[in-house]
Amino acid sequence: MKDREPLFSSKNMKLLTNPLNEDNPITVQVLGICSALAITAKLEPAIVMTFSVVAVLAVSNMVISMLRNLIPPRIRIIVQLTVIAAMVILVDQFLKAYAYDVSKQLSVFVGLIITNCIIMGRLEAFAMTNKPWPAFLDGIGNAAGYGIILVIVAFFRELLGSGELLGFPIFEKIGLYNIGYENNGLMILPPMALMVIGIIIWVQRSRNRELIED
């Protein structure tokens, strides 16, 4: 009988860490851009969105992986969608009950996690052919890779656009306005999210030349 693979073998750890950098869903696979533009004007919704996507993706990856031998291939997309939709509704209900203000800010975007291409992509590409534990890690890794970009973008947009971080008026406290600094209102608008992501992609690719496509 084959030896059991340790839970955190190097192969499994790769599932967690790869999507954070060289296999990042946003900057390398360029998936999930739409929500990255929409909810990154402030840090708090970006963080909540990250946790929501982690929960949805990890659990649905695991559920689909457990069912992978039972799911008839002909209806697998529908089954995946049902699992995702159920998870998203649960997350939405919990946010409405425990984080009402944030759920109001995220409004339609929580529901739109269902259509986030990263999630369907991972279910179809990974969970359908792998065991539950690796699938769970893969879900966390990819959602975290998505989230890390959200948080970086939101950090710069909130800081430069509103002069605040998590609502704390950081620029006012260090007296930047007194020497004539003004917030850049453009940072709040969606186009600047795209530009910040563009800059992240540029920095990442100039440090890791293997990522550059022809």
Partner 1 sequence: MKSFSNTYIFVFSTVMVILVAAILSSAAMLLQPLQQKNFRIEQMRNILASITIESTASDAESLYEKYITESYVVDSKGEIKDGIDAFKVNMVDEVRKPDEEKNLPIFVGLRDDEKKEYVIPVRGAGLWGPIYGYVALNDDFNTIFGTNFGHDGETPGLGSQITTPWFQDRFKGREIFSGAGVFVSIDIVKGKSDPSSMNQVDGITGSTLTTNGLEDMLKDCLKPYEAYFKNQMN
Using CB under 8 A, list all residues that contact partner 1.
41, 69-75, 78-79, 82-83, 86, 89-90, 93-94, 96-98, 100-101, 104, 107-108, 188-190
3-state SS of the chain: helix, strand, coil percent to 5? Answer: 75, 0, 25
Q: Which residue's CB is nearer to partner 1, number 23 or number 92?
A: 92
Q: Which residue's CB is nearer to partner 1, number 63 or number 148?
A: 63
Helix orientation angle between 117-125 and 43-67, rounded to the nearest 10 degrees? 30
Q: State the amino acid at position 72 in one-letter form.
A: P
The answer to whether the beta carbons of residues 37 and 193 sit under 8 Å apart is yes
Q: Which residue's CB is nearer to partner 1, number 71 or number 165?
A: 71
166: left (phi over 0), alpha (psi -120 to 50) or beta: left
CB of 93 to partner 1, least distance (A): 5
CB of 73 to partner 1, least distance (A): 6
Q: What is the greatest pairwise CA distance in the chain?
A: 72
CB of 213 to partner 1, least distance (A): 32
HSE (CB half, 13 Å, CA atoms) of 48?
23
The answer to whether the beta carbons of residues 120 and 96 sit under 8 Å apart is no
Q: Which residue's CB is nearer to partner 1, number 97 or number 212?
A: 97
CB of 64 to partner 1, least distance (A): 12
Structure token pair of residue 191: 């186009």
Q: Which residue's CB is nearer to partner 1, number 89 or number 174?
A: 89
CB of 98 to partner 1, least distance (A): 7
